[in-house]
Amino acid sequence: MKQTIALLTALTCGVAQSSASDRIDFLNDVMPVLTKMGCNAGACHGSAAGRGNFNLSLYGGNPQADYEAIVREISGRRINLQKPEESLIILKPTFAIDHGGKFLMDDDHEGTQLLLRWIREGAEMVTHRELERVEFTPGSRFIEQADVDIQLHAEAFYTDGSSKDVTPWTVFSAEDSSAVRIDNDSAVATPLRGGRHIITARYLDSVAPIEIVIPLSNEPIDLAGQSSRNFIDDEVLSLLAKLRLPVSPQADESTFIRRLYLDLTGRLPEPDKVMAYLENQDQNKKEELIDELLRTEAFNEYWTYKLAKWLRMGTDPNDEDGIATYRLWLSKQIEKDVGYNEIARNLILATGNTHDVGPANFYRTVDGPREQAEFVSELFMGSRLRCANCHNHPLDKWTQDDYHGLASIFSKIESAQIVRVKASGDVINPRTREPAMARIPGEYYLKDKTKDGREDLVEWLIADDNPYFAKAIVNRLWSSLMGRGLVEPVDDMRTTNPATHPVLLDRLAEDFAANGYRIRPILKRIASSATYARSSNTLPGNTEDNRYYSHALRRPLEAEVLADAISYVLNIPAKYQGKANGQRAITLADPYTPSRALDILGRCGREESCEGETSISGGLTRNLHLLNGELINARISLEEGRLARLFDADTAPMDIIDELYLVALSRTPGSAERRFWREQLANMDSVEQQQRLLEDFMWSLLASSTFNSK
Amino acid sequence: MARRDFVRVGGLTALGLGLGNFLGLQRLVAESKAQLSPRAKSCILIWLDGGPSHLESFDPKPDAPKEVRGPMTSIPTNLNGVRLGECLENTAAIMDKVAIVRSMTSPLGEHQFGAHYMMTGYKPSPALVYPTMGATLAHLRSQIGVLPSNIAVPAFPNLVSGSGYLSGSVGPFSVGGDPRSHDFKVRDLDLYAGIDLARLDRRLEFVEAIDAFESEKNASNSTPTDPDLVRAYNLLANPEAKRAFTLSDEPEALRHSYGWLDSGNNNIGQSCLLARRLVERGVPFVTVNSSGWDAHADIIQLKARYSTDKNGLLPSLDRAFSTLVRDLSDRGMLNETLVVVMGEFGRTPRINSNAGRDHWPNCFSVALAGGGIQGGQVVGSSDSLGEFPKERPVTPSDLAATIYTLLGIDPATELQTPDGRPVRVTPDGSKVVSELV
């Protein structure tokens, strides 16, 4: 080893004598070594507390602090200007002495040589040029099959017009390491299976995704026969064609009407509506039905419920007046089809008495300016700023200055029953240990400290060119109707978590903005697409697909919707504590209204904005309750219930079966089903026995996965 | 229709339609990789919710100044030189079977965070909710018989989700109710008035028929009947399994020796007895949840509310824990049953102005017995005031790695999040406490 170092010394001495502009650039040469070798990763010296008393900023977010840590701390022992090869930052990563992070590079590794040269030149904070941008290639690549090597490349461009190949100093990592193998020494990616894969490329603090698309089958696929009703179908079909995924046919009309009613109104369609729709021969009946539902009071109720969840309405369980006022205000906005931009403006700028001014309750949802910043960014930007509380976001562009800058905007809000703007207020930025400067995240500082920063925030947020606002809400609306966000999770939109269909997301957001940010037109657009109307029945070849919309995704009903649907089928309303008999669960303003049934059905508390209720499985407690508890059993045979009335009218047993199928599943049973039920009934000796069997049938209908999902 | 008292495995064989492998083959594959040779078959976690004081229980400081020592004294144990808080007199007599870790340390002094860290081995993260040890165990071990693999008595603390990123069906099943009451029953385990088992059986068959018809047109089974519906049925239809919850089967003397008449919400004695009945029937993980340990005021109340009261939290814990260990030992089950006593953190060494102690995660104690651990030892130590570990700091991650190892699960086993991310059972860098295993 000594020999190698001697040789290196000779080499580097020669270099050190060259012109000043050739000297090692701390920002552009040394920092990339630290990032590439993982020194400043969260698991090593980049963690908040550092490692082994050596603390670097996460992924080099703060080069000045890193320079101080390397050159000045522990009396400069990390750097030995007299004997550069005995500097700790050489000895440790080459494992010449014990290192918690073990062996990282040998003596003639390019990184080792670079660090040695830099120390030999005086270990100074020299920089020659400013990084402007980095281009990672390929941005997106379609290849015919897996197991093909793809060369990755990163080129840095500087403000002085120069550029440099920085591939060796770029870290490439696969989103799913079991799908793509990456050799970081040669920067070669080898996808191991079909599908759409994402590789994250990072050079210093520039991060970008690289997309690789590989067909999932070798069979050519002809999608020419697939109907396209609008741009949604164009985009979805184009990716399906690339992936060669077979496309399930359109759902039958019964399935469609049940799905549409549940998605737009949170209710099951009544039998006469179903029959009328099935009998209607009009070409445009689908569009007409969508329009009709968008005009209903049920739509207002259901979308008030949906938005209330996203707004986490009701976390303050002790203030019923506030929640009631807030809920009423929201339902008015939905009823009047007020643009979501105006809703956001009214919420963010709200002040006043929360018992009179609905939107003022927005400031009583979470407690404190930092929490408010996190809530606002998740809700309106679909971004998880909270990582940037303690360090710059490792996968996104958010810095601590962004996080605390946004929190600073809310620091003057006093959120008691009366929400008002105080004369002053601060949050401390832990990086500077001083009051944070108010800042529009990722953009600019607000200079005028006397002004209420919320106005600047709103103007920036709801401007037509804001990159987050429209996409964040459109992605949630899409997820509500399709069962999966184009970006998932819906509040984690970032460059390194790209949409499955980026162009589609852009076009939906443009469409939304062009229609005044109103939810009805965009919901109509989605519901009118052939993509939305697809069957959830899978074909051989598309069963595994859960993100490209080759078939519809079956989704569980939300707890409140399910509770209402059960009451509707039984034709006996539920009774909620302190509420009028018959009040439907989706209209309960307080998510903490005591109800064992709603708890058991898995209602959402409001600590989170409640997305992704993906599991149809309800757990043991719920199923024991279905079997032995009151939810269904106590109401199934009541004399004013649906079943008792059918018995009273001497309805024939098979007609009762038909009727219940229609009420619960919006369809009549098929011939095999009829045969099955007829045989069951035939085994019964008496009318009473038949009635017990029909009770059991009704119970089973309500407990089935079929009923519990859409 | 004939009553079925065998275990339903699901599937409508008459129609030739199966329910598919809803429990997933992945689990079996993962299992075969994950299993070490287990010493313990089951684990009973006695969870002291709120954060028990280490100074009044497993790490007394008789020589410290009064404001640290607190109002209680300490007693010797059958382990030379090791003392316990004065309330733990029965535990003192079985210290040869117990190991105490006195150098637990965590940075998280908030209930929810601390509970998450202790129960999952992971610090809480906004990006991912981790599964508790019971959920991971239920996920990796296939269910034996019809009792759930992860049970909480009487109810799981609502601080932690339980199943985390794993399927909800591996989350703890809370039995509910009060095990002290003479008519203690698990909620919804008894048939609804007027409905017999034959009808439930028929109902289940109908559910499966409805869902199977719906799925018929499918290449895959997109609407399988909820497997938990079948599990629920199997449980309620199995008198022998239900018997596990019938505490009245136990001799009165034994019930009293666990502690029966504990005051207030304190039902730790009968909960521990129920836990024993469950592990006896093969349940891998039972959490006994004891509340009320968040003693910000009047630490003396952990001993008694009034002078003759023998039902304070500490004496109740002492009776329940020591009887549980003896009972398991008498039945030859102690070696295969790991008992862990812990809460989310310790309490401030200095008594506060309300004569209580506040949250203190920097140093606290955990007690373990059975499951093949080396009893009769104290691992690590705290400084003279019980403020910080003096020797051998142990993190909640290390403790979790140790518990998993004792239960036969390699802490390096990788689980999958719903979006396909591999996550280790315990964090990278967690180290098994070798003295214990």
What are the residues facing B389 on neighbouring strands? Answer: B382
Question: Span A506-515, mean pLDDT?
Answer: 97
Q: For residue B8, what pLDDT is reported?
A: 47
Distance of CA A666 to the CA centre of its chain: 32
Residues of A in contact with B192 (CB under 8 A): 627-630, 633
Question: Is A147 exposed, middle or buried, given 0-12, 13-18 or 19+ CB atoms closer than 10 A?
Answer: exposed
pLDDT at B148 over 60: yes
- Strands (DSSP E) contained in A397-439 are 413-415, 418-421, 428-429, 434-435
CA angle A101, A107, A109 (to 5 degrees): 85
Q: How far apart are CA A520 and CA A38, in angstroms?
A: 48
Confidence of residue B159 (pLDDT cuts 50, 70, 90): confident
Q: In total, how many domains does chain B have?
A: 1
Q: Which of A86-95, A267-276, B8-17, B177-186 reaches the highest mean pLDDT?
A: A267-276
Which structure tokens are listed for A528?
């009118």
Closest CA to A526 of A294, A345, A266, A240: A294
pLDDT at A600: 85
| Helices (H) then strands (E): counts for chain B | 12, 16
End-to-end CA distance of chain B: 52
Which residues fall within 8 angstroms of residue B168, CB to CB, at 6 or more apart? A615, A617, A618, A619
Count the alpha carbons within 13 Å of A47 in the hemisphere toward its beta carbon: 7
Give pLDDT, residue B24: 33
So where are chain A's domains?
Answer: 2-120, 131-214, 366-451, 559-703
Burial pattern B336-362, b for ≥16 Cβ within 10 A else e, equals bbbbbbbbbbbbbbbbeeeebbbbbbb
Residue with tokens 């741009």: A231
Output the CATH code of domain A131-214.
2.60.40.1080
pLDDT reported for residue A2: 42
pLDDT at B13: 30
Integer Rg of chain A from CA: 31
Q: Report in angstroms the alpha-carbon separations of A455 from A344, A448, A458.
A: 12, 12, 5
Beta-sheet pairing, B150-153 with B173-174: parallel
Burial level of A296, CB count in 10 A (0-12/13-18/19+)?
Answer: middle
- The answer to whether the CB atoms of B210 and A692 lie below 8 A apart is no
| pLDDT more than 90, % of chain B | 68
Q: Tell me, what CATH number does B209's domain have?
A: 3.40.720
Return the minimum-mean-pLDDT range out of A533-542, A560-569, B23-32, B171-180.
B23-32
What is the distance in angstroms between the Cα of B183 and the nearest Cα belonging to chain A?
18
Nearest to B342 by CA among B128, B154, B117: B117
B303 domain-assigned: yes
- Which alpha helices (DSSP H) does B141-178 contain, by range? none
Mean pLDDT computed over A247-268:
96
Classify residue A540 as left (phi > 0), alpha (psi -120 to 50) or beta.
beta
Tell me the per-residue pLDDT of B402-417, one tens digit each, with 9 for 90 and over.
Answer: 999 999 999 999 998 7
Contact A489, A383 (CB under 8 A): no
Of B167, B173, B200, the CB nearest to A617: B167
Closest residue by Cα to residue A704 from B208, B200, B16 = B208
- What pLDDT was estimated at residue A394? 62
Helix-strand-coil split of chain B, %, nearest 5: 30, 15, 50
To the nearest whole angstrom, how far is the Cα of A232 from the nearest Cα of chain B?
A: 25
Residue range B54-109, pLDDT digits in tens: 999 999 999 999 999 999 999 999 999 999 999 999 999 999 999 999 999 998 88
Q: Give the pLDDT mean for B252-264.
A: 87
> Which range, A49-63, A442-456, A510-524, has the best average confidence (pLDDT)?
A510-524
Element (H, E) at A164: strand A163-165
Q: What DSSP state is assigned to residue B8? A: P
Q: Name the band, by pLDDT with cuts 50, 70 and 90, for residue A617.
A: low
Q: Pick the residue with more confidence: A345 or A40?
A: A345
Judge whether B2 lies within some domain: no
Number of H helices, E strands in chain A: 26, 15
Q: Supply the pLDDT for residue A395.
A: 66
Contact A624/B222, CB-based, under 8 Å? no
Q: By the CB < 8 Å criterion, does B206 face chain A?
A: yes
Nearest by Cα to A56 from A402, A394, A324: A394
> Is the distance from CB of A200 to CB of A175 less than 8 angstroms?
yes
Residues in chain B: 437
The boundaries of the domain holding residue B350 are 13-424
Nearest-angstrom CA–CA distance, B250 and B273: 9
Q: What is the mean pLDDT of residues A478-483?
A: 96
Sorting pLDDT into bands at 50, 70 and 90, what band is A7? very low
Which pLDDT score, from 0 to 100, does residue A596 have?
Answer: 86
B419 vs B214, which has greater pLDDT?
A: B214
B144 Cα distance to chain centroid:
18
Q: Is residue B429 part of a domain?
A: no
Mutate to test the interface with B, among A623, A635, A678, A710 (most CBs of B within 10 A): A623
Tally of CB atoms within 10 A around B429: 11
B332 touches chain A (CB under 8 A): no
Say if residues B284 and B149 touch (Cβ distance below 8 Å). Answer: yes
Kindly state the DSSP code that residue B128 receives in the 8-state scheme: B
Contacts of A137 (CB under 8 A, 6+ apart): A152, A153, A154, A155, A210
Measure the CA–CA gap between B288 and A468, rounded to whole angstroms.
Answer: 47
Judged against a pLDDT cut of 50, whether residue A335 lies above it is answered with yes
- Report residue B28's pLDDT band, with 50, 70 and 90 as the boundaries: very low
Q: Residue A676: its chain B contacts at CB < 8 A?
A: 15, 209, 213
Task: Chain B: give the shortest CA distance to residue A78, in Å.
Answer: 25
Note the pLDDT of residue A76: 76
Which amino acid is it at A51? R
Band (A541; pLDDT cuts 50, 70, 90): confident
Residue found by looking up tokens 């009945």 in the block? B277
| CA–CA separation, B98 and B115 (whole Å) | 23
Residue in chain B lying closest to A174 (CA): B421
According to the 3-state scheme, what is the secondary structure of A214-241? ECCCCCCCCCCCCCCCCHHHHHHHHHHH
Please say whether the beta carbons of A330 and A308 come within 8 A: yes
pLDDT digits (tens, 9 = 90+) for A15-41: 434 455 678 899 898 999 988 888 887
Residue A47, chain B, CB below 8 Å: the answer is no
Which residue, among B419, B217, B141, B28, has the nearest Cα to A614 in the 3D structure? B419
Using a CB-CB cut-off of 8 Å, the residues of chain B touching A620 are 148, 169, 173, 228, 231-232, 235
DSSP labels, A337-394: T--HHHHHHHHHT--EETTT-GGGGGGGSSSSHHHHHHHHHHHHH---GGGGGTS--S
Give me the mean pLDDT over the A328-339 stretch: 97
User: For position B195, what pLDDT does the model report?
Assistant: 94
pLDDT band at B12 (very low <50, low <70, confident <90, very high): very low
Q: What is the pLDDT of residues B280-308, one digit of tens each?
A: 999 999 999 999 999 999 999 999 866 66
Residue A391's pLDDT band (boundaries 50, 70, 90)? Answer: low
The residue written with tokens 């602090």 in the block is: A65
Chain B residues close to A623, C-beta within 8 Å: 226, 228-229, 231-233
Query: What is chain A's mean pLDDT, rounded?
Result: 88
pTM: 0.80
Task: Give the Cα separation of B399 and B408 in Å (integer).
Answer: 14
E strand or H helix at B287, and its extent? strand B285-290
pLDDT of residue A58: 78
Instruction: Specify if B433 maps to a domain.
Output: no
Encode pLDDT of B334-390 as tens digits.
999 999 999 999 999 999 999 999 999 999 999 999 999 999 999 999 999 999 999
Token pair of B188 as six digits: 């919804």
If one counts every other C-beta atom within 10 angstroms of the C-beta of residue B65, the result is 11
Give me the amino acid identity at A580.
A
Does the beta carbon of A540 lie under 8 angstroms from any beta carbon of chain B? yes
**pLDDT band of A460, cuts 50, 70, 90:** very high
Q: How far is CA A220 from the centre of its chain?
A: 33
In 3-state terms, what secondary structure has residue A124? coil
- In this complex, is the C-beta atom of B24 within 8 Å of any C-beta atom belonging to chain A? no
Testing the interface with B: which of A177, A254, A403, A537 to mutate, by most B Cβ within 10 A?
Answer: A537
DSSP, residue by residue, A604-659: --SSS----------HHHHHHHHHHSHHHHHHHT-TTSHHHHHHHTT--HHHHHHH
Nearest one of A455, A497, A490, A454 to A475, comparing CA atoms? A490
Taking the C-alpha atoms of residue B378 and residue B435, their distance in angstroms, rounded to an integer, is 9
**Range scoring the smallest mean pLDDT among A37-51, A496-510, B236-250:** A37-51
Q: Please state, as a whole number, how many other Cβ atoms lie within 10 Å of the Cβ of residue A478.
A: 26
Chain B residues whose CB is inside 8 A of the A178 CB are 420, 422
Q: What was the pLDDT predicted at B223?
A: 66
Whether residue A659 has pLDDT greater than 50: yes
Percent of chain A with pLDDT over 90: 59
Least Cα distance to A476 among A464, A462, A493, A490 occurs for A490
